[in-house]
């Protein structure tokens, strides 16, 4: 009998895969895993075709197609007044998942402590564990904001990294300028790195600005900032993202990236670069596009027994179902998917310590007709 010692003995299949499979099996409307049910913009699809046919089908540079890196640098300058060298400070990756994994492997050593905030996106901890690091979980408060007193109390001489995620998955909360002030004060004069997961940077509502780490020179010099084209261009399956980091951190990042994927799908990079150059309005209009969907979802749920506090960002909306059921959130989402026909994500799975929750997460990156059809069912509960 072959003996296998699991390096991740406590890790199962991700909740996103579990719930999407269940949604398919039971033919439920799938508001669980985060992805749009509409297509990427037609001109972007045409550009993909153009570059496929033009023969852009071999290995691109290890760090990413230069044209795309230049477009990223221009965007970062325009939105966050941050000058980034496209040659030395931007690396294109195969999804944000790869970028997060690589940033952690490149910098975390045995017994290093990495601070994360619960509910926490599920890919961080396994990456920390594989690097030999220790994950220090700090709970967000009841409005899903960071309690900086808890963070200060958790910092030790072994703290190597703090991972922040704004807009936040699964809660939809966002970091404010005051949060960045706190993070800046906390990390100043230390060797603590910041890994900032900003994949929902273009989905921030109510005219709030996205508080990117790239706006803050002092934080930027110690940060890996990750964004994903999959979210921004309605093409989550393309798995193209990028990491912005100062020269020395990017150099370490690239040492690992070159042996994880080496490069990222070539024609997609060309197509995204040309689309970014010619259609900047796409990402500029994205907050309004998704705010309209959030508002539709909230409005359609108004007469339901779910309680909603409108999401500040991402394409997710939390809903409290305590008036409907006493079930645990995991049981509730199974029942909702299998018996009622709408799939959602439970929240308790994103906590380290058992945290009973009566919240579920719905994804509203859906055609209006899908949102209406799902809410019609949910209103009857
Ligand atoms: N971070 C967060 C917070 C996410 O929600 C996602 C999306 N699935 C990712 C990272 C991974 O993004 P990608 O699909 O580009 O790997
Ligand atoms: N990030 C997506 C979500 O939160 C899912 C990505 C995945 O399935 N790994 O739904």
* pLDDT digits 0-9 by tens, 172-188: 999 999 999 999 999 99
**For residue 60, what are its two tokens?**
């691109």
pLDDT in tens, 204-226: 999 999 999 999 999 999 999 99
pLDDT at 46 over 90: yes
Cβ–Cβ < 8 Å for 240, 269 = yes
* Spacing, Cα 169 to ligand 1 middle (Å): 9
Q: What is the reported pTM?
A: 0.98
Q: Which ligand is nearest to the CA of 243?
A: 1
Query: pLDDT-based confidence at 356, cuts 50/70/90?
Result: confident
Q: What's the mean per-residue pLDDT of the chain?
A: 97
How sure is the predictor about 357, in pLDDT bands with cuts at 50, 70 and 90? Answer: confident
Binning pLDDT at 50, 70 and 90, where does residue 314 land? Answer: very high
Q: At what angle do helices 96-107 and 247-260 cross, to 10 degrees?
A: 110
| Domains of the chain and CATH, by start | 15-40+282-379 (3.90.1150.10), 57-279 (3.40.640.10)
Measure the CA–CA gap between 52 and 46, rounded to whole angstroms: 10
Which residues lie with the beta carbon below 6 Å from any ligand 1 atom? Answer: 34, 95-97, 121, 165, 169, 197, 199, 228, 230, 236, 239, 241
Percent of the chain with pLDDT over 70: 100
pLDDT of residue 250 exceeding 90: yes
pLDDT above 90 covers what percent of the chain?
98
CA of 66 to the centre of ligand 1 (A): 23
* Nearest atom in ligand 2 to 32's CA: 10
pLDDT band per the 50, 70, 90 thresholds, residue 336: very high
């Amino acid at each position: 009998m072959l003996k296998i010692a699991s390096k991740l003995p406590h890790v199962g299949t991700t909740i996103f895969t579990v719930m999407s499979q269940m949604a398919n099996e039971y033919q439920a409307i799938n508001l669980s895993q985060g992805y749009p049910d509409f297509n990427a913009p037609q001109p972007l699809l045409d550009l993909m075709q153009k570059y496929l046919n033009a023969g852009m089908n071999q290995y691109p540079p290890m760090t990413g197609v230069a044209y795309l890196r230049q477009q990223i640098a221009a965007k970062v300058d325009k939105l966050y007044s941050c000058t980034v060298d496209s040659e030395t400070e931007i690396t294109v990756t195969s999804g944000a998942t790869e970028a997060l994994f690589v940033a952690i492997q490149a910098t975390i050593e045995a017994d290093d402590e990495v601070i994360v905030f619960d509910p926490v996106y599920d890919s961080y901890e396994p990456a920390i564990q594989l690097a030999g690091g220790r994950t220090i979980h700090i709970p967000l408060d009841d409005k899903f904001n960071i309690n900086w007193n808890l963070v200060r109390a958790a910092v030790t001489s072994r703290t190597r990294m703090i991972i922040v995620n704004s807009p936040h998955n699964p809660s939809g909360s966002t970091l404010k300028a005051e949060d960045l002030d706190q993070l800046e004060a906390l990390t100043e004069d230390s060797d603590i790195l910041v890994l900032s997961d900003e994949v929902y940077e273009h989905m921030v509502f109510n005219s709030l600005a996205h508080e990117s780490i790239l706006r803050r020179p002092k934080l930027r010099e110690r940060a890996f900032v990750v964004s994903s084209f999959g979210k921004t261009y309605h093409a989550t399956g393309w798995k193209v993202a990028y990491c912005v980091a100062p020269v020395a951190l990017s150099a370490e990042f690239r040492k690992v990236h070159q042996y994880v994927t080496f490069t990222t799908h070539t024609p997609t990079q060309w197509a995204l670069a040309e689309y970014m150059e010619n259609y900047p309005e796409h990402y500029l209009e994205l907050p309004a596009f998704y705010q309209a969907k959030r508002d539709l979802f909230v409005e359609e749920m108004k007469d339901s027994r779910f309680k909603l506090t409108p999401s500040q960002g991402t394409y997710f909306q939390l809903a409290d179902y305590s008036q409907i059921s006493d079930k645990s959130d995991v049981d509730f989402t199974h029942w909702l998917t299998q018996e009622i026909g709408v799939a959602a994500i439970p929240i308790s799975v994103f906590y380290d310590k058992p945290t009973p929750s009566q919240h579920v997460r719905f994804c509203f990156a859906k055609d209006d007709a899908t949102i209406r059809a799902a809410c019609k069912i949910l209103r009857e509960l």
